[in-house]
Chains A and B, each alone.
Chain A
Amino acid sequence: MTPERVFGRDAAVARRRRAAFMRGLQAVAPALIPTGAWGLVTGVAMLQAGLTTVQALGMTLLVYAGSAQLAALPLLAGSAPLSVILLTAAVVNLRFVIFSAALQPYFGHFPVMRRALIGYFATDVGFAMFLSRYGDAPPAERGGEGQLWFFVGMASGIWFAWQSMSVLGIVLAAQVPGTWGLDFAAILGLIAMTIPMIAGRPAVVGAVTAGIVAVLAAGLPLKLGLAAAVVGGIAAAMATELLLERRRGTP
């Protein structure tokens, strides 16, 4: 693929698009470490659950949703009914419905196929990075070309880091011993990535609430705890924001 086919023929437009693409790639660079680590862990996990190399490659390239894959694998290995596997994955993915609602004001005006593609590539990390950059953009400035190409740059980095490491995990599955604690390195990476995003008192309250609910509700069927934690965290953050506003006396 030539740069011309990616960014367009017009030189000035292409330069702008490429600059936004690079900004997205730059913004996401630090997050590629935990993303890659998770990809590797997921790749190894698919083989350990009993998938063949080809099946695992198919799963990583098509499904592209680590948490749903990790939730589905033990069910698949245990021959759970298809309906239970898909329902569990759907519940684990419920947070993405919230994400896509939050992206709609930015990308809702694009053609339908492009919207569907943007959604497919809106992973946890991508969504978090996009909103921490443009979450405060006034409504009139939402969904400009710069934001689209920023998203594309970011999503490309995440896709490449995830897929390359996931494929590596599939290929090396037999050689990666569980004692390395790779899965825990991925968690540490997520922690390091999340801390800078917890800015302001409402976000702190929301994060603490979500963390506690996730632990307490971890035993719920179909992995409902994750969705409950996200909803609970958002509600707590908003309640805090309202309280702070009231105390300051602003409407």
Chain B
Amino acid sequence: MSETTVWIVVIGLTCVTVATRSAFLVLGKRYTLPDRLQHALRYAPVCALVALITPELALAGGSLDLSLSNPKLVAGIGAAMVMVATRNMIAAMAVGMLAFTAMRLLAG
């Protein structure tokens, strides 16, 4: 890839960020969403975050792996359970990393 190509892509991606993140805000009050829809959008952040997470846990090399030998799935569920039980972020991440590392080492 040439120097110019990279910079064109960088500028293009910057425009994409601005266009998507600011779309509705820049339009201002001209287009107001119905109350019901605005209320529904409160669920957007949770859905987006979960949707970023689950493919990382359940897909191994692009194919579905829901077995107990999938280190990411087991460690991810473990971390989630620790978080539900303790609400302690550091503990959840530590348990998850330990489980992940242990399973990878055991699998050789």
- Taken residue by residue from 116 to 136, chain A's Cβ proximity to chain B (1 for < 8 Å, 0 otherwise) reads as 101110101001100110010
Contact of B12 among A85, A105, A194, A209 (CB under 8 A): A85
**B52 adjacent to A238 (CB under 8 Å):** no
| Cross-chain contact A207 with B47 (CB below 8 angstroms) | yes
- List B residues 22-57 near A (Cβ within 8 Å): 22-29, 32-33, 38, 40-57
- The answer to whether B107 has its CB under 8 Å from any CB of chain A is no
Residue pair A237, B53 in contact (C-beta under 8 Å): no
Given the contacts A187-B57, A189-B93, A195-B83, A102 and B50 also touching, CB distance less than 8 Å: no
Q: What 1/0 flags go to A205-234 for Cβ under 8 Å of B? A: 011111111110011000001100110111
Q: Collect the chain A residues with CB atoms within 8 Å of residue B28's CB.
A: 104, 108-109, 112, 115
For the complex formed, measure the closest distance between the CB of B14 and the CB atoms of chain A, giving whole angstroms.
4
Task: Tell me if A161 counts as interface (CB < 8 A to partner B).
Answer: no
Looking at chain A's contact residues, the main secondary structure is helix
Cβ contact of B45, chosen from A128, A189, A225, cutoff 8 A? A128
Whether B100 pairs with A233 at a CB distance below 8 angstroms is no
Contact call A63/B13, Cβ cutoff below 8 A? yes
A178 CB to closest chain B CB (Å) equals 12
A13 contacts B by Cβ under 8 Å: no
What bracket does the count of chain A residues touching chain B fall in?
A: 35 or more
The bracket for how many chain B residues form the interface is 35 or more
A86-107 contacts to B (CB < 8 Å): 86, 89-90, 93-105, 107
- The distance from the CB of B20 to the nearest CB of chain A, in whole angstroms, is 4
Q: Are A192 and B89 in contact (CB under 8 A)?
A: yes
* CB neighbours of A198 from chain B (8 A): 46, 50
Tally A-B pairs: CB < 8 A. Answer: 276
Whole-angstrom distance between the Cβ of B58 and the nearest chain A Cβ: 5
CA A33 to CA B94, docked complex, whole Å: 12
Q: Is A8 an interface residue (CB 8 A)?
A: no
Determine whether the beta carbon of B84 is less than 8 Å from that of A104: no
A188 near B75 (CB under 8 angstroms)?
A: yes
Select A191's contact among B40, B62, B83, B104, beta carbons within 8 Å: B83
With A50-B1, A116-B26 given, is the CB distance from A213 to B51 under 8 Å? yes
Q: Is the CB of A100 within 8 A of B23?
A: yes
B45 and A132 contacting across the interface, CB-CB below 8 Å: yes
Given A191-B83, A191-B96, A197-B49, are A55 and B43 also a contact pair (CB < 8 Å)?
A: no
With both chains docked as a complex, state the minimum distance between the C-beta of A44 and any C-beta of chain B, in angstroms. 16
With an 8 A cutoff between CB atoms, is B101 at the interface?
yes
Interface contact A196-B87, CB-CB below 8 Å: yes
Within the complex, the shortest CB–CB distance from B13 to chain A, in Å, comes to: 4
Least CB distance from B88 to A in Å reads 8
Pairs of residues from A and B, 6 with the lowest C-beta to C-beta distance, nearest first: A119-B22, A233-B47, A128-B45, A229-B51, A214-B51, A210-B47
12 A-B pairs, CB-CB below 8 angstroms?
A62-B10, A86-B13, A101-B24, A104-B27, A119-B22, A187-B76, A194-B50, A198-B46, A210-B50, A215-B54, A225-B55, A232-B47
Beyond known contacts A192-B83, A195-B92, A209-B47: 14 more, CB 8 A cutoff: A30-B89, A58-B7, A59-B13, A65-B13, A76-B6, A100-B21, A102-B44, A104-B33, A120-B17, A131-B44, A210-B46, A213-B51, A215-B59, A233-B50
